[in-house]
Structure 1
């Protein structure tokens, strides 16, 4: 019995470490992409190449505490350049800015309707997992559309003590569903399933409500969470 508990405990620790690693690597990727944009605009930050090399070195050595500390020091300086403040949360704003650029690159109209919040209930890792997965799924769905408008609408609002998140996107075709769970058409559909499960786990952690509605030509995800 004890051996079984220890095995399950090790699996849980490994899963948490993998999620933390993925969150940090995502943050490195976003910062590196922002640096490339800065180069294109001819507004080069001194020593930025050395910063990118340092980030990659932390990643290769799997020095996650060191990487996390370095990212925190570097992020604020980079975010000052051509950075739209959507919510006041640096991590969430970074995700929204990057996904908006991704949408532009694939000819998808992205509308963002939000406000600045004093606090949000999520950690940086949870923000990356929650919004990263939802928006990546929306971008993937729009990319499949060939003969009609591609669009994504994001609404993040607070009413009284309730945080309301709504993400809607156009669809080329109705998604496959089995027992109310989405089935991916991607080859790595196991990973896609983990993405949806991570979203649901985060919402459940904060005693929130996760709902979705599927229409003929669009899909809406709705999340309601208590946020004091």
Structure 2
């Protein structure tokens, strides 16, 4: 006799707890201690339990709209204890109980083929609906954590790029200081060689000075520090792996583009190319960036193993099939397409012989700074 009411109380408590977790995920962290928000959720639990215990199953459908309205008001009130925008508060307060309510009665109708259910059938539908809501919350949490891990991985990579750039700058400064310190000795040595008619020796000595200065070479120096750091990191990594690299960078010092977005595009293009050239005897990589009147074009070309190519249709349906060394390759291209879409751009890929080419076109706000070259 008492088992069903107690089970209903526990089920409703579990559902309200899921509401709390969903609000935190969808709106943001707590502004203050979560106790004030918990009070509102406890009120919501009490109202739901009171209505569930006092209303007959046949009347449950009739009171559902009123209960939905009450839940929206209380959830919206609780949302102000979270750090989030107004639109997130409103959408969460409206959609969360709607998802549960619609799902609950859909499940009940699917299970029993009628909305005129008895008490046990209503309880079973409530339990299944709460479980379905819990599964949805688990999926949302996993997606959120996956996204956070991906963003953390990109940030860690960006840190490594900046460290590489700073290392190049430090090495260059050290070389300049060392050369400046010994400049008088170098000038005397060159003067003596020229005075004695040792032209070839003087030229060789100058070449050795140039090689000394080239230690810690900064490959790309467009003036756009963030992009330069990414490109220098990629080029140095490729060269260290024995890959022949060519590049042509013509961009202004300022681009109306998020550094995070540029990192996503360039890093994914490079990782795909870097993985592909590991399987060929003649690894080559070509990087091109050109900015002109608000349009940024990024091209990454690399050798690849055509025998391991995978056939996959592109969204446009016009380009030939592309190759992927792994599932991560395709996932990286999806990330690039997602970012390109933010700038009303697109990603296209082509193959020609033993070369794979990826092109990204982005439409940015036109910079006041003229493009290089």
Q: Where on the TM-score scale, by shorter chain, does this alignment land: which range?
A: 0.5 to 0.7
1:218 is matched with: 355
Post-superposition offset of 1:130: 0.8
Choose the corresponding residue for 2:270, options 135, 158, 165.
135
TM-score by length of 2: 0.43
**Higher fraction of helix:** 2
Establish whether residue 168 from structure 1 lines up as the match of residue 305 from structure 2: no
Who wins on radius of gyration, i.e. which is larger? 2
- Distance in 2 (CA, whole Å) between partners of 1:156 and 1:192 is 21
Please give the residue correspondences for 1:46-195 in structure 2 after superposition, counting only pairs within 5 Å: 82-146=217-281, 149-173=282-306, 175-180=309-314, 184-186=324-326, 189=327, 191-195=328-332
1:196 is matched with: 333
Which is worse superposed, 5-14 or 208-217?
A: 5-14
Structure 1 residue runs of 5 or longer lacking an equivalent are 45-80
Contact map agreement 1:164 1:225 (CA 8 A) in 2: yes
- Distance in 1 (CA, whole Å) between partners of 2:166 and 2:250 is 27
Contact map agreement 1:168 1:219 (CA 8 A) in 2: yes
Contact map agreement 1:212 1:220 (CA 8 A) in 2: yes
Please state whether the residue corresponding to 1:117 is helix, strand or coil. Answer: coil
Post-superposition offset of 1:179: 2.9
- Distance in 2 (CA, whole Å) between partners of 1:172 and 1:33 is 30
- Distance in 2 (CA, whole Å) between partners of 1:139 and 1:133 is 10
TM-score by length of 1: 0.67
Residues 156-215 of structure 1 deviation map (CA, whole Å, 9 limit, x = unaligned):
1122221111111122325212334756444xx2x3332121111011111102111111
Structure 2 residue runs of 5 or longer lacking an equivalent are 1-98, 101-132, 176-215, 315-320, 366-373
Choose the corresponding residue for 1:208, options 345, 350, 368.
345
- Distance in 2 (CA, whole Å) between partners of 1:207 and 1:39 is 39
CA root-mean-square deviation: 3.2
Post-superposition offset of 1:84: 4.3
- Distance in 2 (CA, whole Å) between partners of 1:115 and 1:185 is 30
Residues 18-64 of structure 1 deviation map (CA, whole Å, 9 limit, x = unaligned):
333112211233345567778999959xxxxxxxxxxxxxxxxxxxx
Evaluate the alpha carbon distance shift between residue 88 and residue 34 of structure 1 in structure 2; reply closer, same or farther with a 3 A threshold.
closer
- Relative contact order (C-alpha < 8 Å, sep 6+): which is higher? 1
